[in-house]
Chain A
Amino acid sequence: MAGTIEPRQTHVSEKQRVEQPRRTWTSKRALISHAAVLVWCIGCAVACRWQISVAESGDALGWVYSVMWPCFAVFGLVFWWFLLHDDPEALGRRGLRRLQDESQALVDVKQRARSEEIINQAEEEDPELAAYNAYLAELARGDRTKSRGRR
């Protein structure tokens, strides 16, 4: 039996989800990160230019640093991209708890499938056991109807 996991429940309403493409780029948080990444990249460009001038004035070490600063700019861009596209709900303690719930659900499904498989196999090999299990199930059903009747 293939265990299917329910699609992840997000805390976003249908209306918000429709508006989301616009908000990804224009929410307050996004605008601040646009400004921050712009300042960061300009800073890296200035530092790179400065190191190139250092290198040209004779210090060869400047070449090494003039390659390093664009790398920092690239990291800034990666960070900015994830900042825009990460679901804030998935971060922090709440996000960790959701991750835990998801993995627990996956384990539960797999465990249930595995125990069913084991029982089915055992019943196939041993008809007596199958009959006994059916008898137990019958008893359990009887118990349930009896207790319901009593109530």
Chain B
Amino acid sequence: MANSTTEKTRVVQAQPASVMAVIAPAVGWLIPGAGHMIQRRWIRGLLLFMSISTLFVLGLAMQGRIYKANGGDILDILGFVGDVGAGGLYIVTLAMDWGQGAIAFATADYGTKFIIVAGLLNFIAVADAYHIAIGKKR
């Protein structure tokens, strides 16, 4: 009988929820890549931290705008949701009153999108940290 179990179709049985399944995503949201580092995936965590943080900081340096909690235009709400994904970076930016945006710079719009995408990528990283914590991924 042919062995139908291949690397791509391998199904990993997820473990029941554990403390790490709560802590890793929470820490990973607060500090990009930290959810992986506390599970001893050091290189992955470091690369995630460098990539997400660099995108966020570059976005600020390009005079991008930070969205605050709002109940207005749908795009503003989505912008806020994306920004909040960056966790601690977003909190620090709000506290320091950065990210006011500058209409005068043509690349400010790129900066705004960089910040949003950094947050969204961190959401993906958080989900990955969770999957590692529950044993669904190595």
Decide if A and B are genuine partners: no
